[in-house]
Structure 1
Amino acid sequence: MAAAPPRPRVMVLPFPAQGHVMPLMELSHRLVDHGFEVDFVNTDFNHARIVTALAAGGGETRAAAHAGIHLVSFPDGMGPDGDRADIVRLAQGLPAAMLGRLEELARAQRTRWVVADVSMNWVLDLAGTVGVRVALFSTYSATVFALRTLIPKMIEDGIIDESADVRRNEKIKLSPNMPVIDAADLPWSKFDGSPEIRRIMVKGIVKSNPTLARADTIVCNTFHAIESEVLALLPTAALAVGPLEAPRSTSASQLWPEDRACLVWLDAQPPGSVVYVAFGSFTVFDTARLQELADGLALTGRPFLWVVRPNFANGVDQGWLDKFRCRVGDTGLVVGWAPQQRVLSHPAVACFISHCGWNSTMEGVRHGVPFLCWPYFADQFLNQKYICDVWGTGLRIRANERGVFTKEEIRDKVNQLLADDTIRARALSLKRAACESITDGGSSHQDLLKLVNLLKEQ
């Protein structure tokens, strides 16, 4: 009997941050389902965190990583005590630290394709050295991808300067049926950093933009029903394969241990009663903002599940959390990290107080959950615009005249959202569109098959 032909092998390369590792791992699972072997490349630092999170959650790396996904790691160029929350500095050091090792891996595995985070687009250099082909993956919306290609023109027109500071608050409309975008809401203008840091970031984007057309395709975690027009504006052929989903079992993509006991707690709550609160992997609250949120959740009188990761708030220790847990009793549950997609799919969840990161946005859409939007930085303000102004599936939490997000505002917006049948109906309608896109014959399923066929080309 003839031996089975070897499975095609693909390298997958995320930017080393939670919101980038997770969707690319989800895509990797889909590729394995279609017969691929995947070399999934993390940094040494994040690989160690993933292994620790898996062990703390009771899983094992081999079991958690789908058969066919091989976890690989390389140094990120920072020392053990380097500040990896400084994503600009982290990004600057990655090419020198990783490119040579990636070339060695590609040669050793005879890699023909790399699926790379667009934030790692310097990997396109491997096309010249080892002849790989590259599919770029966007961890943000297709709209943000299109906007990044327009940065040089916006600088030339005096809308923003080279540090992304707004000089003229122009209204930007990418296509007739796309939302109007205020220049003040551009992701780079909302980036939390000094003008010099933003200047370095913008300079890097402008420098890399011309190289993007060298990719064979751009893969987006979105779907045609919400971004079909803007997908056509990207610099090379784009495939929309979202909303991506994690496997039901533990996946080797989480940098914090998931508290799955929260699912048992949810089982005990009435349907459509729980306020789910999570702000992703980068948001940081100060003590005053944290206290207003805590008081606001208590004021609602509703059951809530609140994710407070270890580095979520400055100056808040375990003692504060213990006192708050005692205060709210069985009404609320505070966890360090949650299996978010499992939570959002749970019938007890009524709404999602979110920072509106793109992963969270797609997950909320996929499960038909109304949003209360509280963006922190970057593209999250644009995602809020989609949720509140275009899809009509959520409300904004607004600061008062002193810039404070008060406990009363949080309480009132929760009550307003949960009393709004129109928003709930829109969220369920968008859920149907999202689910249709990923079922057999749907637009995202078809684009996934196109990607599979492309990656099988040599």
Structure 2
Amino acid sequence: MAAETTPPRPRVMVLPFPAQGHVMPLMELAHRLVEHGLDVDFVNTEFAHDRVVKTLEAGGGGDAAGAAGPARINMVSLPDGMDTDGDRTDIGKLAGCLPAAMLGGVEEMIVSKKIRWVVADVSMSWVLRPLTTAGVRVALFSTFSAAIFALRLHVPKMLEDGVIDEYGNVTKKERIQLSPMMPAVDAGELPWTSLGKHPDSRRTLIQTVIKAVPVIELAEVIVCNTFAEIESGALARFPKPALAVGPLEMPSSSSSSCNFWAEDRACLAWLDAQAPGSVVYVAFGSLAVFDAAKLRELADGLALTGRPFLWVVRPNLLADDGAGEGWLDELKRRVGGGGEGMVVGWAPQQRVLSHPSVACFVTHCGWNSTMEGVRHGVPLLCWPYFADQFMNQSYVCDMWGTGMRICADERGAATKEEVRDKVERLLGDEGIKARAMSLKKKACASVAIGGSSHRDLLKLVNLLREQ
């Protein structure tokens, strides 16, 4: 009698936009899919892939060929259409290059590997029409809040009403709130008014969003890194039912599989030596840039609190204007000599936020950081930089009551006294702490077996099994 053969595992392509804040949640989702019996082809651009591979190799997790990654996740790469020395922090320019550079390679992979499903970042929605025309089914993944997704759908109406023009410039001052259950945002803080370093880049982004609105209907399902208990109002505005599968989190053993910078895990031992609830954690994500004057003021403000702090200063956090030369060395000498805190280039953020020594999180309010703060019950001190971060701040401060704003001047600078005072007010507010812990319980319940996000994840897995 012939031995029974195990049927092949269904294969899914995952296609993130090539930025740290997009690669990470889609890698987290890829891990969930693998755990539930699927295989994943994870398609980065060559530039993003090389960054991740170097990080893996630095941590002992990669091989010389650069193909090694998490088990059952095949990491592959395609060109992004930019020159070797192109500015990939110009999101608008990068977004404009991707369709022509990547679509052919995506289609070739789909044919050669007989892929029936693609999980595509909403910022890569240009794949929807050609892939669905070819018979491929697409799940569209939102790397930002459901509220921002709903706001994207509203962009054509904002253009029609003259709130913004085709270059993303604000032409009518309004406060926009699509529903009482959703956060409000000033027109001047809409994501598309600050993304893109030049008018042409912003216009490319606005046009990309406009073109995406009608093709979203082609997606089989919309998947969000959120949970129903906090965004039911926004999810209700989607053009079709959505699956809320968050807050997503990376297995601690695989956290390097999506990082563009190597994690400095020495900070965990440093945290172990600090008193419970004493440390101010500071991190501004992967794209925010500050001038030296702002950073010095922040450093002085942290020192004035008298509390230990852990500060992530990634290599390109400081604006390249020449004025800040030697600033980081100066800060490290100061911190190392006085024992005020610790400065690292990149941190295992989820493990940091779950550490009992951490008291609060000074954050740019990127959606990944916001969700991680929520999942671990950490009060947030908000200092948004651009894009969706202002609306995320509105969620934190106005709707959830789990944090406070840093009040900056018109140049975006905050005084050391403002930093000191807000840290002390935040940590002295028992109501904020209680609400943060309450939201943590809801977040953890949502991803636990039987929770709303766990149920939606199983729905997604079952859908992707339909080969």
Q: TM-score range by the shorter chain?
A: over 0.9
Say whether 1:227 aligns with 2:231.
yes
Q: Contact 1:351–1:372 (CA<8 Å) still a contact in 2?
A: yes
Could you tell me which residue of structure 2 aligns to residue 426 of structure 1? 435
Could you tell me which residue of structure 2 aligns to residue 439 of structure 1? 448
Could you tell me which residue of structure 1 aligns to residue 4 of structure 2? 2
Shift of 1:258: 0.5
Normalising by structure 2, we get a TM-score of: 0.94
- 1:327 aligned residue (319, 334, 337): 334
- 2:361 aligned residue (315, 339, 352): 352
- 1:414 aligned residue (420, 423, 426): 423
Unaligned runs of 5+ in 1: none
Q: Contact 1:107–1:130 (CA<8 Å) still a contact in 2?
A: no
Which letter maps to 1:19? G
Aligned counterparts, 1:78-157, within 5 A: 78-128=82-132, 130-157=134-161
Which letter maps to 2:301? G
Say whether 1:194 aligns with 2:176.
no
Could you tell me which residue of structure 2 aligns to residue 47 of structure 1? 49
**CA deviations over 1:75-100 (Å, ceiling 9, x no partner):** 11112111111111111111111111
Shift of 1:167: 2.4
Q: Contact 1:103–1:130 (CA<8 Å) still a contact in 2?
A: no
Unaligned runs of 5+ in 2: none
CA distance in 2, matches of 1:29, 1:19: 16
**CA deviations over 1:82-127 (Å, ceiling 9, x no partner):** 1111111111111111111111111111000000000111111343
Q: Contact 1:356–1:381 (CA<8 Å) still a contact in 2?
A: yes
Shift of 1:328: 2.5
SS at match of 1:282: coil
CA distance in 2, matches of 1:377, 1:402: 13
Say whether 1:263 aligns with 2:268.
yes
Q: Contact 2:90–2:196 (CA<8 Å) still a contact in 1?
A: no
Residues 174 and 402 of structure 1, relative CA distance in 2, 3 Å threshold: closer
Could you tell me which residue of structure 2 aligns to residue 27 of structure 1? 29
Could you tell me which residue of structure 2 aligns to residue 384 of structure 1? 393
SS at match of 1:361: helix
CA distance in 2, matches of 1:160, 1:96: 28
Aligned counterparts, 1:356-375, within 5 A: 356-375=365-384
Q: Contact 2:291–2:324 (CA<8 Å) still a contact in 1?
A: no
**CA deviations over 1:270-326 (Å, ceiling 9, x no partner):** 000000000000000011111111111112111000000001102477843232222
Q: Contact 1:16–1:42 (CA<8 Å) still a contact in 2?
A: yes
Q: Contact 2:67–2:75 (CA<8 Å) still a contact in 1?
A: no
**CA deviations over 1:374-418 (Å, ceiling 9, x no partner):** 000011000000000100011111124775311111111111111
CA distance in 2, matches of 1:421, 1:64: 46
Say whether 1:311 aligns with 2:316.
yes
Shift of 1:154: 1.2
Aligned counterparts, 1:152-301, within 5 A: 152-191=156-195, 193-251=197-255, 252-301=257-306
Q: Contact 1:64–1:249 (CA<8 Å) still a contact in 2?
A: no
Superposed CA RMSD: 1.7
Shift of 1:64: 7.5
SS at match of 1:189: helix
Residues 413 and 63 of structure 1, relative CA distance in 2, 3 Å threshold: farther
Could you tell me which residue of structure 1 aligns to residue 351 of structure 2? 342
**CA deviations over 1:29-69 (Å, ceiling 9, x no partner):** 00000000000001111111111111222333699733110
Residues 169 and 67 of structure 1, relative CA distance in 2, 3 Å threshold: same
Q: Contact 1:298–1:328 (CA<8 Å) still a contact in 2?
A: no
Which letter maps to 1:325? K
Q: Contact 2:145–2:367 (CA<8 Å) still a contact in 1?
A: yes
SS at match of 2:362: strand
Regions of 4+ moved over 6 Å: none
Normalising by structure 1, we get a TM-score of: 0.96
Q: Contact 1:243–1:438 (CA<8 Å) still a contact in 2?
A: yes
CA distance in 1, matches of 2:27, 2:287: 19
Which letter maps to 2:288? T
Which letter maps to 2:155? I
CA distance in 2, matches of 1:130, 1:63: 28
Q: Contact 1:38–1:68 (CA<8 Å) still a contact in 2?
A: yes
Q: Contact 2:11–2:40 (CA<8 Å) still a contact in 1?
A: yes
Q: Contact 2:96–2:204 (CA<8 Å) still a contact in 1?
A: no
CA distance in 1, matches of 2:344, 2:325: 12
Shift of 1:248: 1.0
Residues 41 and 403 of structure 1, relative CA distance in 2, 3 Å threshold: closer
SS at match of 1:20: helix
Q: Contact 2:189–2:386 (CA<8 Å) still a contact in 1?
A: no
CA distance in 2, matches of 1:135, 1:266: 40
Shift of 1:184: 2.7
CA distance in 2, matches of 1:326, 1:153: 52
CA distance in 1, matches of 2:106, 2:305: 51
**CA deviations over 1:188-208 (Å, ceiling 9, x no partner):** 123353333322221221122
Q: How many residues align?
A: 458
- % same residue: 66
CA distance in 1, matches of 2:434, 2:265: 29
